[in-house]
Structures are given as structure tokens and as C-alpha cells.
Chain A
Amino acid sequence: MSEEAMEDLLQLYRQSAREAPAAQVDARILHAAIAQSKRQRSRSLPWPLAAAASVLLWASLHGISHEMQGAAGELVPGYGAGRIRAQLLQMDVKPPSSEVARYLMGNALVPHNDHKEISP
């Protein structure tokens, strides 16, 4: 197969063959292709949308629960005091382990008798 002879034939063929598809055929194919890509885009869209909706839902629920807590504190009598009591009950109430610690804690909580003797 001679390369030059083949190139001559190809060149002559490309000069002579000038047919093109009809405009209706173009329109039909492009329409189908574009419809397909739109369908694909609409399929891939729900993921970010769903994520955004979840964040929005979480934020609004979080805000609502905070508001409800605040409202409960204001409207229910003794709500604040009860909450503090519950927190105190959860604290560590074990007695001090050493004598010194017990003495110091006792000194801090109760005024000492020696103090009375000195002050007048």
C-alpha cells in the first residue's frame, strides 16, 4: 500500500464528500442528549439538597429546644432551683479521706471557736 497514493485518494474523497445530516435529525439528537443530561443533573441534585435540609432541620430543632428550656425556666416556678439541686446532687459528696483535709474543710465551713476568744 503506497502512502502517497492513499493520501491522494483520501484527499479527493474528502473534497468530494460534503453531505451533512438534516436539521431535523440534528434537532432530534441534540434534544435527546440535552434531556438526558438534565435528567442526570436532577438525579445528582438531591444529595446536596438533602444535606442542606438536614443541617437546617438540626439547627432549627436545636434553637427550638433552647428556647423551650428558657421559656420553661421563666414560666414554671422553682424550675431554676430544681435544676441547681439536681446538679448539686450529681456532684461528688464523698467525705474527705484524711484527717487534715477533714479539719481544713471543717474550718472553712464552720467558724472556729478560737476566733471568738481573740476578737474582743
Chain B
Amino acid sequence: MSAAIGLTQDWSVACAQALAHFQRSLSSPAACPVVASDMSDAECMRRYSQGDAQAFRILYARYRERLHRYALRLAERTPEAEELFQDVWMAVVNGRERYEPHAPFAAWLFGIAHRRAADRWRALGRHAPDALRKREDDDVFEHQATLPVHAPEHQVQNEALGKALLDAVKALPMPQREAFLMKAEGDLSLEDIAAATGTTRETVKSRLRYAQRRLREALEPWR
């Protein structure tokens, strides 16, 4: 009898472990072994355009979090960000044969995200990411709204600093924010950001310089 109970318990534990493993693999594709693949992004795209679904899984696992955070910080609300995120991946799926491997995949991906975001916000009647370019080039950004100030004594130092930075990023003017996010999330070069946003390298450099100055000002109370 006791042996039977022990066997049943072992079986339940094994089932629970298998279920937990299955749920983990479903809920976090980033934890899948596909991320550790040596295959380059261009090779993944080439294979996916020939019908290899596993190659897409690898790419998706590599870029899902980065693109999601980019969309999250560009959009005003989370549902908008999720729509943009899905929209961009569907554009990758449908346009896989248009990808040309001479450009980095990340630049292509964030370029699609930039255009989709611009189209979406133009349709909604808001400022598109490149709408403030002229004003920014004239240094008008100095007169824009001030950044939120946080009280450091009420929060744990590191977490507060991180949160302050995220808030400051969200408060950046759109072109600077986008340039900073492409650098931070996509790890793109100045040239790649320029290509993705349809502007010049010098403009991108200038946007990043302004973004850096604003972010450092926002973090000044913690220094």
C-alpha cells in the first residue's frame, strides 16, 4: 500500500516538474536553447525566407525583449506598444524576402519599427518621431518641458537611479529618445541609426549628445 502511495507521489512530482518545464519553455522563448545558436542574424533570415521556422525562433528570441522595450518607451501606453511590437514582427514575417544581408538585421528591424511608429502616430495625429527634427537642430529643445525630479531619500539608491533614468528616457523628445533607444536596445552604430531613421549621421550624433545631456541632468540629484 505504502509503495503504491510512494509511486503515485513520484508520478505526481514528475508530472508537475514536466508541466513546469513545459510552461517555462512556453512562457519565455528567450530561455530556449535557440538563443545560444551560433547562426548569424543574416543566416537566420536566409533560412527563414526558405521556410525554416526554427531560424525565425532564433531571431525572435534574440530581439523580442529589445524591440518590446523600444516600443514600450516610444509609445504612450502599453497596448499601443504591443500593437506596434506585433506589427513590426508581422512586417518581418511578410517581408522576409526583402531583407538584404548587407545591412545588419537589427538596423533593418528597428528601421521597420521607426516607420511603423511614424505611420501609426501620424494616423493618430500625434508627433511622429521625426517631427521635431528642425526644432531640435535649432536647439529649441532647451526650452521644452523639464524632466521629472525624484526624491532620492524615499527610494533605494540603485533602483531609484534606474527608475529615474527610465523616466528620463521616456521624457526625452521623440527623436532623441528614439536615437538613444536604438543605441541602447539595438546596439546600432551612428550610421545604422541614421539609415533606420532616414537621417544623417551628424544628426544622429547631435540627437545622442542632447539625449545624453538631458539624461545626466535628470540623474544629477543621485550623483
Q: Which residues of A contact B (CB under 8 A)?
A: 1-2, 5-6, 9-10, 12-17, 19-23, 25-30, 32-34, 36-38, 40-41, 44
Contacts and interface: CB of A to CB of B under 8 A. Distances in A.
Interface stretch (B84-92, B105-113, B140-148, B193-201): B84-92
A98 B28 CA distance: 97
B216 interface: yes
Given A6-B212, A12-B165, A16-B163, 12 more contacts: A1-B209, A6-B208, A9-B165, A20-B65, A21-B82, A23-B26, A26-B27, A29-B93, A32-B90, A33-B60, A36-B93, A37-B48
Nearest to B29: A26
Interface in B112-167: 161-163, 165-166
A41 B212 CA distance: 48
B51 A21 contact: no
Q: Taking each of A1, A16, A37, which has the highest tally of chain B beta carbons within 10 Å of its own beta carbon?
A: A37
Contacts of B36: none
Given A1-B209, A9-B212, A9-B215, A21 B65 contact: yes
Nearest to B52: A37
A13 B162 CA distance: 7
Interface in B156-184: 161-163, 165-166, 169, 180, 183-184
Contact of B169 (A13, A22, A34): A13
A13 B56 CA distance: 27
A7 to B, nearest CB: 10
A19 B51 contact: no
A23 B29 CA distance: 9
11 contacts: A1-B209, A2-B212, A19-B72, A20-B68, A23-B26, A23-B27, A25-B85, A25-B86, A38-B53, A40-B50, A40-B51
A97 to B, nearest CB: 68
B80 to A, nearest CB: 13
A63 to B, nearest CB: 36
Contact of A9 (B51, B52, B216): B216
A29 B86 contact: yes
A41 B57 contact: no
